[in-house]
Amino acid sequence: MSREDLKAAPSLGFVGLGAIGLPIAANLLKAGFHLKVHTRSRSAETSKQLIGAQSCSTPREAAKGCDILLICVSDDVAVEEVLFGPSGAESSLAKGAIVIDLSTISPSKARYFSVRLAERNVEYIDAPVTGGTEGAKDGTLTIFIGASNASFKKISSVLKAIGSSFYTFESVGKGQEVKALNQILVAGSYVAVAEAIALGETLNLPMNKVLTALQKGAANSWALSNRSQSMLKDEYPLGFKLHLHHKDLVIALEAAEELGIKLPITSKVKELEESLIKQGYKDDDVSVLKRSIKRQVHN
């Protein structure tokens, strides 16, 4: 960012420094933005990746004096606490400020937050992301934006520091609806990869060679390219926590139910995830679904 651009750059607040949020915040710093940060546990605020950022004790402090507040937390309840809780950001957001919510939450809650903040002349934009921890670290996230092209232009310099693909869907909540579709596709692809690997192992196929071959054809997917090796090794380094994906499937299924649409495959994946969560795998990467499929094949 040039010296002239730096002078014109918006001042940013950032709340939520988890597996996705921390590298996003780090990329904003690398891009030259002035950044105030807060996270519930407080520990990540002192990460080496955030040298130069201002640590804040509350969301309210992080939002004070900022042109744009970014939020990247786990669910509806967490976003509401960040915005409207006892130490929430609402009271310190200036008129004309913008809230960019990178979290994955229900579309109805996104619209509710937008209405509440509009009463203070603050614009709320839902902008859920996809691309995993890899995309967050590399700054190549895909972002679904519940706003008009005009609103996107106001925040484009910020989003371009953390992502590479941006899609606007005109109104608040639409970004979350698109993210729900994304998570449905993720659910199906992860389970399909898990089933294929489990069957291939049972057939005693040379699975490393098989996976390389499959990635060259029509069967390739993000899950096959990025998570098949961990499934094969039965090791699940964190990319996206199982219980968070389960939360996203609940959002998608509730939206479908309201419209009278049944999603049998998504419902089955939700059941598999619930079983694994009960077994203590809630904080493992979602690719841990392989363990459920493997037991079914061998029993």
Contact 193, 231 (CB under 8 A): yes
Q: How high is the pLDDT of residue 286?
A: 94
Amino acid in position 59 = P
Distance CA 127, CA 158 (A): 12
Do 154 and 34 share a structural domain? yes
Distance CA 166, CA 79 (A): 22
Contact 140, 163 (CB under 8 A): yes
Q: How high is the pLDDT of residue 24?
A: 98
Do 201 and 137 share a structural domain? no
CA distances from 267 to 182, 232, 234, 291, 296 (A): 15, 25, 24, 18, 17
Do 119 and 257 share a structural domain? no
Q: How high is the pLDDT of residue 9?
A: 86
Q: Where are the beta strands (DSSP E) in the chain?
A: 12-15, 35-38, 54-55, 68-71, 98-101, 123-126, 129-130, 141-145, 163-168
179 is catalytic: yes
Do 188 and 102 share a structural domain? no
Do 19 and 121 share a structural domain? yes
**Last residue of some domain: 129, 154, 171?**
171
> At 56, is the secondary structure helix, strand, or coil?
coil
**Last residue of some domain: 171, 198, 225?**
171
Tokens 């490393």 correspond to what residue?
208
Contact 128, 176 (CB under 8 A): yes
Do 156 and 185 share a structural domain? no
DSSP code at position 229: H
Tens-level pLDDT at each residue, the chain (299 residues) = 544 454 468 999 999 999 999 999 999 999 999 999 999 999 999 999 999 999 999 999 999 999 999 999 999 999 999 999 999 999 999 999 999 999 999 999 999 999 999 999 999 999 999 999 999 999 999 999 999 999 999 999 999 999 999 999 999 999 999 999 999 999 999 999 999 999 999 999 999 999 999 999 999 999 999 999 999 999 998 889 999 999 999 999 999 999 999 999 999 999 999 999 999 999 999 999 999 985 555 45
Do 213 and 148 share a structural domain? no
Do 216 and 147 share a structural domain? no
CATH of the domain at 287: 1.10.1040.10
pTM strictly above 0.75? yes
**Last residue of some domain: 171, 197, 232?**
171
Q: How high is the pLDDT of residue 293?
A: 81
Catalytic residue among 36, 179, 247, 290: 179
Do 140 and 13 share a structural domain? yes
Do 77 and 195 share a structural domain? no
> At 71, is the secondary structure helix, strand, or coil?
strand
Range of the domain at 196: 177-298
Q: How high is the pLDDT of residue 197?
A: 96
Phi/psi for 104 (5° steps) reads: -100, 115
Residue 252 CB contacts under 8 Å (≥ 6 apart), including other chains = 180, 181, 183, 184, 263, 266
- Summarised one tens digit per residue, pLDDT across range 32-88 is 999 999 999 999 999 999 999 999 999 999 999 999 999 999 999 999 999 999 999
Tokens 């967050």 correspond to what residue?
136
Domain count, the chain: 2
Residue 273, both tokens: 């995830």
Average pLDDT, the chain: 94
CATH of the domain at 131: 3.40.50.720
Distance, CA of 284 to chain centre? 15
CB atoms within 10 A of CB 74: 18
Residue 14 CB contacts under 8 Å (≥ 6 apart), including other chains = 21, 24, 25, 28, 35, 36, 37, 38, 53, 62, 69, 70, 71, 72
Do 257 and 114 share a structural domain? no
Do 198 and 93 share a structural domain? no
